[in-house]
Amino acid sequence: MPVVTRGAPLDRLLRPVHRWVWRDVDRRLRKLLTFADVETDGGRDILRAAEVTPDPLLRRLYLEHAIDELRHGVLFRERGVALLRAQPARRAPFFSGNPLPGGHGLDDLRIEGQPDHRLLAFLHVAEKSAAGRFAIYRAMVDDDPETRAIFEQILRDEVFHMNYTYTQLARIAPQTYRRHVWYARAKRLWNRYLRVAGAVAGLLGGAMLTLMYFVLLPLFAWLAKRAERREPLGWNPVSPARTSSPKSQF
């Protein structure tokens, strides 16, 4: 399997956005701290996979994998905190969020009830994507040798994770491993589509409500004021038909 050093086509296309995100120190340290959480959570999940797998070889590999991910979490957290401490003064950046998906994609990982072949296929796809993305991030932090060295180190581990998951998948499902990988890819794409669709629906909903507030609300306010002007002021005489109405019941 070739070593991933270029990233997925979409990520290569989004290089200017990646560059914009990593250029700002505030956004950079937020990214690193987010990665720290994702890697640590992924490490915990893989530790759980090591507990539940019936395969002794996979248990050893999962354990090694989990230790790597937990170490990545520590590396990212320490670097993020170091950058935070080096900041001369806190300032609010123009945009401190993250317009792009995170590095690893292990946040979608589900362990309970998953057979090993499905888990390995998912991990292989996620690790391959992480390796490609970390290769891009490494190029984005040329001005920061310490962060670059962390990406360099983590990238080597991610390539190992990508390769061992594929080899083990081929071992435990020699007839169907390709199908499992395609299924994992399709599921990942579908989950990504759902996230994008949810974000777009949120944006459209917000835009529609804003539009209604500024276009429909003034119209109804104007109609209400016009109706109010037509109403006579003070006490109004009541018609005889309405005054006889209460007595008719008794």
Residues forming the site for Fe ion (CB under 5 A): 39, 69, 72, 127, 158, 161
**Cβ at position 224, least distance to Fe ion in Å:** 60
**Cβ at position 39, least distance to Fe ion in Å:** 5
**Cβ at position 195, least distance to Fe ion in Å:** 20
Q: Which is nearer to Fe ion, 21 or 61 (CB)?
A: 61
**Cβ at position 64, least distance to Fe ion in Å:** 11
Instruction: Retrieve residue 236's tokens.
Output: 């109004």
- Amino acid code (one letter) for 203: L
Closest CA to 115 of 42, 176, 69: 176
Q: Which is nearer to Fe ion, 45 or 127 (CB)?
A: 127
Instruction: Retrieve residue 50's tokens.
Output: 């090591």
Q: Which is nearer to Fe ion, 22 or 198 (CB)?
A: 22
DSSP string spanning 144-202? -HHHHHHHHHHHHHHHHHHHHHHHHHHHH-TTTHHHHHHHHHHHHHHHHHHHHHHHHHH
Instruction: Retrieve residue 247's tokens.
Output: 């007595």
Q: Are 117 and 127 in contact (CB under 8 A)?
A: no
Q: Which is nearer to Fe ion, 30 or 161 (CB)?
A: 161
Element (H, E) at 48: helix 25-52
**Cβ at position 144, least distance to Fe ion in Å:** 19
**Cβ at position 166, least distance to Fe ion in Å:** 13
Cβ neighbour number for residue 8 with a 10 Å cutoff: 14
Q: Which is nearer to Fe ion, 68 or 83 (CB)?
A: 68
Q: Which is nearer to Fe ion, 45 or 158 (CB)?
A: 158
Cα-flanking dihedrals φ and ψ of residue 199, to 5°?
-65, -40
